[in-house]
Chains A and B, each alone.
Chain A
């Protein structure tokens, strides 16, 4: 190995990166301090809608009206809005429904797309490019162009108004994007790692399962967080393919809540926030994967 390169790299690392936690060296001039204060204010303004929503959800609606609006001192903070949305607003069954739909769809998507990506990344065969283009293009279709036939198809298959309608549709629709990301990722894995296994007599499925899958875990984690958020937050397909209130996921449930509590914004907003907790948790704890997932898929 060329030592000079390693040395320059080490030097660059030592001097360009300040140790973690000590970023006070940033404030070298009053201009910078002012710019930083401006940035903080901008960020606060940016998330004001979210902060105001939290504030609203913790006050009774009559309190907000009495004080002249959401930007005022509350007389007291309460959790009743959350309880009302959860119990009487039906979130206690909408929220579990969301998981019942999202989790299987997520697993199926990741499994099936890693299968197709494996084929597309590793083999040369007739129709490979056509399949890739089909997957890529399908993902960009406006959902409206699928709505009526898919609605009819679920009816014909006896799946209309069941969880499976949504699970299967989401799986199929997300396959294209995930296949593309996995395929690109798999192509960065050196072939020798797989070849040696083949020489040892492993079948292709074992190569996929025992060697490829562990190697693509970073991409898997990135896609899992991203796809979880997308499927969980989907609204359109829930209102197209489900009719029974007892099956609706939280997004469709919120629309019901909105109709039910037209005049009590505190309850509606509490519901909207509760509906966002799962994806928020995913984002907070898996932010790194989430962001890398976004950038993995978007350009290349």
Chain B
């Protein structure tokens, strides 16, 4: 093989070598390591000791694990319904010209720009049982029987946190749908009007199907985001009171870095990974199908 030809065959690899190496060292390798650690007993200081699958057996009997799983499920369900529906509703309602449209859209989107930590702190203050805004307003409008410790009530705390996450997510979904709507051919909408569709029928039969690729992506991203949820819980409650707001990500962090049960923590991470994997595969096959259409 001539030297020139060899170089030209090597070219793509030369471009890729540093990024791929970095990615393998920091992402792929560690991921595989976690599988190994999940089968060990390891305190983070001494060497990991192989113990097979017993971490997973222990997990199934751990009440905190079950609470976390249930809380993640609540999070997923809330995330694939409320922000998706309201983001879509807002996008459809705001997809027109009106005075100050830029500012109103920006305001709805604004919560996403604040870090989760800042958001968590601001809402902790709003939820504050004694002087927080929420209880103060409830009292002012004569609903003081509903004023309560939003983050100290075991049955309520998870929903209080999920509400904050939803508040943050709506603007993001809205932006995605607005982008999708701008690609909808207006002649299609006119045609359905000519055919005698009312507004709801046009939305239901024309707009919504055209937006379905976005809906699929939004749902997948929402599921993955809710499985990752950590920051808000960590800042607002650390999973309390009595683990009632524990989610898998936070549970894993506490077990690993506070209780130094790193093997056990790795097992939690593996479970989290396996659940996420279903959605990653679903997403990847979709993307790759689109690729083949090129």
Binding site for B on A (CB under 8 A): 18, 23-24, 26, 36, 39-40, 43, 46-50, 52-53, 56, 64-65, 68-71, 112-113, 115-116, 118-120, 122-123, 125, 128-129, 131, 133-138, 140-150, 152-153, 168-169, 171-173, 175-176, 179, 187, 204, 208, 229, 232-233, 235-236, 240, 250-251, 254-255, 258, 265, 268-269, 271-273, 275-276, 279-280, 282-284, 287, 291, 294-295, 298-300
**In the complex the two chains form, is B133's CB within 8 Å of A69's CB?**
yes
Q: List residues of chain B with CB within 8 A of the CB of A283.
A: 106, 110, 113
Distance in angstroms between the alpha carbons of A142 and B275 in the assembled complex: 10
User: Which residue of chain A is the closest to B115 with respect to CB atoms?
Assistant: A233
Q: List residues of chain A with CB within 8 A of the CB of B107.
A: 43, 46-47
SS of B interface (majority): helix
Quick check: which of B50-58, B151-159, B193-201, B276-284 contacts chain A, the rest being far away?
B276-284
**In the complex the two chains form, is B26's CB within 8 Å of A172's CB?**
yes
Question: Chain B contact residues (Cβ within 8 angstroms of A): what range?
Answer: 35 or more
User: Which residue of chain A is the closest to B128 with respect to CB atoms?
Assistant: A265
B56 to chain A, nearest CB (A): 15
Quick check: which of B59-67, B73-81, B97-105 contacts chain A, the rest being far away?
B97-105
Distance in angstroms between the alpha carbons of A251 and B235 in the assembled complex: 10
Distance in angstroms between the alpha carbons of A242 and B107 in the assembled complex: 34
B112 to chain A, nearest CB (A): 8
The answer to the question of B241 belonging to the interface, with a C-beta cut-off of 8 Å to chain A, is no
Checking A134, A149, A272, A299 against B34 with a beta-carbon cut-off of 8 angstroms, the contacting residue is: A149
The answer to the question of B39 belonging to the interface, with a C-beta cut-off of 8 Å to chain A, is no
**In the complex the two chains form, is B280's CB within 8 Å of A144's CB?**
no
**In the complex the two chains form, is B176's CB within 8 Å of A295's CB?**
yes
**In the complex the two chains form, is A275's CB within 8 Å of B117's CB?**
yes
**In the complex the two chains form, is A50's CB within 8 Å of B117's CB?**
no
Checking B11, B16, B257, B284 against A136 with a beta-carbon cut-off of 8 angstroms, the contacting residue is: B284
**In the complex the two chains form, is B176's CB within 8 Å of A176's CB?**
no
